[in-house]
Chains A and B, each alone.
Chain A
Amino acid sequence: MTHTIILPVLLPLLTALVLLFGSRRSLAWKRGVSLAATAALLPLGLLLLQQTYSGAYGVYALGNWVAPFGIVLVLDRLAALMLLLTALLSLPALLYASHGDDHTGPNFHALFQFQLMGLNGAFLTGDLFNLFVFFEVLLIASYALLLHGAGPARSRAGLHYVILNLVGSGLFLLAVGTLYGITGTLNMADLAVRVAAAGPADAPLLRAAGLLLLVVFALKAALLPLYFWLPRAYSAASAPVAALFAIMTKVGVYSIVRVYSLIFGAQAGLLADTALAWLWPLALATLVLGALGALAARELRTLIAYLVVVSVGTLLAGFALNNNAALAASLYYLLHSTLVAGGLFLLAGLIRTQRGAEGDQLHPAAPVSQPALLGSLFFIAAVAVVGMPPLSGFIGKLLLLSSVPPGMQLIWLWAIVLGSGLLALITLSRAGSQLFWNTLEITPVAPRADRLRLAAVVLLLASAPLLSLFAEPVHRYTQATAAQLYAPAGYIHAVLGARDIPRLTIGPEERP
């Protein structure tokens, strides 16, 4: 049973290899294999979630090398939650892709599986360098997926995306190198111990490394000065790829939460709460600019991409509040925003195919062939995103707003979250009326939407009512997750154990 922890990494890897070897086989075969493997991640995610439900940690030492010398995979509540979320998002996205977007190249499904492997690995790993490697795996797959199907817009967006992320990888390595040079370890739990014990001489360098990591994760998460790549890249990608990318920014958010609660958290001595002073203003500014960007967007997909930026701002503002209730609310909001954004990207794909040459541009064009159906789906998604009752966005925002302690923070957060909600309301009502009501007097010619594609959209958007229906158990789980994150001693103990590990310190003091 202990080996179940590594399965979310191995299963997509092996599936991808099988798909690569069978790249000449029929598309139906590839779709079957890929869908079966992705569907299998769902019960696996549930199983792992159930294992962590009691608060237990699962530690898997790769090659049986003891931490901190070997690489460990660590399963805690947050990791299990993210794994399940990835499975929940990827299955509908793949279902949608299996009806039209996967035939433009022979290896779409293999790339999709590599992407899943990178995502799952990043959520599971307990080693900083291994996190870098999994980042690279998911990025390389995402470069190829983004460019899949070609076209000048994709080349243009892809070039920005690839170059920015390569520079980000360089910065990541510099941060990792600095941390290793000072502490002599890359294991996150061991790093937490060493950073907490760091003396005043090492503190400035460690702080520099910590903030360098923040730059890298902020680039992935699309935080303020580093989000400009996102709208172009996400609006150029094909619908299922954009839907899967809804979780890519959340990988950055996850890394920020993990590193700055475990390594540079409240327990970190001289380096306690390194990033929070930066995160709070940046997250709020991201929220404002994201909402304004959505207001200015001229295409539905750009609009949704800016809504992703808004959700990142909301999540990180919740984390920057640095209390249990706010983090629990943020994690609940993370589930909601990822699934609904994925659903919206798929819906935009459906709308685009039905509007003909005008695509998803927000000006009068031919009506869609199924205005009632797509319109109601859009309405549900919009209500969820804006945060109006009774759907999940409302509950997430309510939890977040009620978690702020009285003071200046309360005024800032309430004003900005509610203000950006209002902007999103205006934006989405305008977009909806443009798409469905302000149409030209032409009879629609486009065929009706494919049933399975519709099902994929409905599956993802169903998360909004379901998350509000089951808000209580979900929120109880995110509360437990937040409590676990703010008590990193358990994580450190689980990884390093109580035993006294013999240390081969290779530091400057032992050097000739």
Chain B
Amino acid sequence: MELLVAIMIGLLTACGIYLLLRARTFPVIMGLTLLSYAVNLFLFVMGRIGESQPAVIGVGDGQYTDPLPQALVLTAIVIGFAMTAFVVTLALRARGELHSDHVDGDADPRGPGA
């Protein structure tokens, strides 16, 4: 289970960084999203992995899971979601004003996705 989650986080981060370096606004936004998924998963497992354990002490068979990482993830998700929405509008505006979807705002003769 630990290995699976670790590989998952690593894969998400790698894809996120690759997309970020594409330097076109749409892949960059996708990259940011993947990166924030990786971060959220990472935060979540910092409370250790366990199965069917309540986040409340004294309920169930004495096993409990740490509720704080869940609260942190929730905050991170909310902020990340709002920021993604903001970047999308910003990217659209930059596309309209600069007539390019490159993050530097320069027209690229190689065409989109090059």
Decide if B35 touches A136 in the complex (CB within 8 Å).
no
Decide if A152 touches B87 in the complex (CB within 8 Å).
no
Decide if A155 touches B105 in the complex (CB within 8 Å).
yes
Contacts A136-B79, A152-B98, A160-B103 known; A174 to B90 CB distance under 8 Å?
no
Contacts A140-B82, A163-B28, A177-B42 known; A506 to B47 CB distance under 8 Å?
yes
Decide if B97 touches A155 in the complex (CB within 8 Å).
yes
**A178: CB under 8 A from chain B?**
yes
**A200: CB under 8 A from chain B?**
no
Decide if B90 touches A147 in the complex (CB within 8 Å).
yes
Distance from A492 Cβ to chain B, minimum over Cβ atoms (Å): 21
Contacts A140-B82, A147-B90, A152-B97 known; A133 to B75 CB distance under 8 Å?
yes
Please provide the chain B residues from 26 to 54 with a CB less than 8 Å away from any CB of chain A in the complex: 28, 32, 35-36, 38-39, 42-43, 46-48, 50
**A389: CB under 8 A from chain B?**
no
Decide if A173 touches B105 in the complex (CB within 8 Å).
no
Q: Which of these binds chain B: A36-44, A164-172, A355-363?
A: A164-172
Decide if A177 touches B90 in the complex (CB within 8 Å).
no
How many Å lie between the Cα of A506 and that of B86 in the bound state? 37
* Chain A residues closer than 8 Å to B83, beta-carbon distance: 136, 140, 162, 166, 169
**A447: CB under 8 A from chain B?**
no
* Chain A residues closer than 8 Å to B97, beta-carbon distance: 150-152, 155
CB < 8 Å: which of B79, B93, B104 contacts A169? B79
Decide if A163 touches B103 in the complex (CB within 8 Å).
yes
How many Å lie between the Cα of A136 and that of B25 in the bound state? 21
Decide if B35 touches A170 in the complex (CB within 8 Å).
yes
Contacts A159-B25, A159-B94 known; A140 to B86 CB distance under 8 Å?
yes
Decide if A180 touches B90 in the complex (CB within 8 Å).
no
Please provide the chain A residues from 154 to 205 with a CB less than 8 Å away from any CB of chain B in the complex: 155-156, 158-160, 162-163, 166-167, 169-170, 173-174, 176-178, 180-181, 186
Decide if B105 touches A152 in the complex (CB within 8 Å).
yes
How many Å lie between the Cα of A394 and that of B57 in the bound state? 60
CB < 8 Å: which of A147, A159, A166, A176 contacts B72? A176
Q: Indicate with 1 or 0, residue by residue over A500-512, a CB within 8 angstroms of chain B CB atoms.
A: 0000101010011
CB < 8 Å: which of A136, A147, A159 contacts B103? A159
Please provide the chain B residues from 84 to 104 with a CB less than 8 Å away from any CB of chain A in the complex: 86-87, 90-91, 93-94, 97-98, 103-104
Decide if B48 touches A173 in the complex (CB within 8 Å).
no
* Chain A residues closer than 8 Å to B82, beta-carbon distance: 140
How many Å lie between the Cα of A177 and that of B36 in the bound state? 13
**A280: CB under 8 A from chain B?**
no
How many Å lie between the Cα of A180 and that of B46 in the bound state? 7
* Chain A residues closer than 8 Å to B57, beta-carbon distance: 504
Distance from A463 Cβ to chain B, minimum over Cβ atoms (Å): 34
Decide if B90 touches A173 in the complex (CB within 8 Å).
no
| Chief secondary structure at chain A's binding surface | helix
* Chain A residues closer than 8 Å to B32, beta-carbon distance: 163, 166-167, 170
Q: B41 — nearest CB in chain A belongs to which residue?
A: A177
**A129: CB under 8 A from chain B?**
yes
How many Å lie between the Cα of A158 and that of B90 in the bound state? 8
* Chain A residues closer than 8 Å to B50, beta-carbon distance: 511-512
Distance from B69 Cβ to chain A, minimum over Cβ atoms (Å): 7
**A414: CB under 8 A from chain B?**
no
Decide if B46 touches A162 in the complex (CB within 8 Å).
no
Q: B65 — nearest CB in chain A belongs to which residue?
A: A506
Q: A137 — nearest CB in chain B belongs to which residue?
A: B79
Q: Which of A133, A159, A169 has the most chain B CB atoms inside 10 A of its CB?
A: A159
How many Å lie between the Cα of A186 and that of B43 in the bound state? 13
**B15: CB under 8 A from chain A?**
no
Decide if A167 touches B86 in the complex (CB within 8 Å).
no
How many Å lie between the Cα of A504 and that of B56 in the bound state? 13
How many Å lie between the Cα of A477 and that of B50 in the bound state? 51
CB < 8 Å: which of B28, B76, B98, B104 contacts A173? B76
How many Å lie between the Cα of A508 and that of B28 in the bound state? 37
Decide if A155 touches B94 in the complex (CB within 8 Å).
yes
Contacts A156-B105, A166-B83, A180-B68 known; A173 to B94 CB distance under 8 Å?
no
How many Å lie between the Cα of A247 and that of B20 in the bound state? 29
Q: Which of A151, A156, A166 has the most chain B CB atoms inside 10 A of its CB?
A: A166
How many Å lie between the Cα of A152 and that of B57 in the bound state? 55
Distance from B43 Cβ to chain A, minimum over Cβ atoms (Å): 4
Q: A173 — nearest CB in chain B belongs to which residue?
A: B39
Decide if A159 touches B91 in the complex (CB within 8 Å).
yes
Decide if B87 touches A163 in the complex (CB within 8 Å).
yes
Q: B105 — nearest CB in chain A belongs to which residue?
A: A156
* Chain B residues closer than 8 Å to A129, beta-carbon distance: 72, 75
* Chain B residues closer than 8 Å to A176, beta-carbon distance: 43, 72
* Chain A residues closer than 8 Å to B69, beta-carbon distance: 177, 180
* Chain B residues closer than 8 Å to A170, beta-carbon distance: 32, 35-36, 38-39
Decide if A155 touches B98 in the complex (CB within 8 Å).
yes
| 14 CB < 8 A contacts A-B | A155-B105, A156-B94, A156-B98, A156-B104, A160-B103, A162-B86, A162-B87, A167-B32, A170-B39, A173-B39, A173-B72, A177-B39, A178-B46, A504-B57
List A residues at the B interface (Cβ < 8 Å): 129, 133, 136, 140, 143, 147, 150-152, 155-156, 158-160, 162-163, 166-167, 169-170, 173-174, 176-178, 180-181, 186, 504, 506, 508, 511-512
A-B pairs, 3 with minimum CB distance: A181-B46, A156-B105, A155-B94
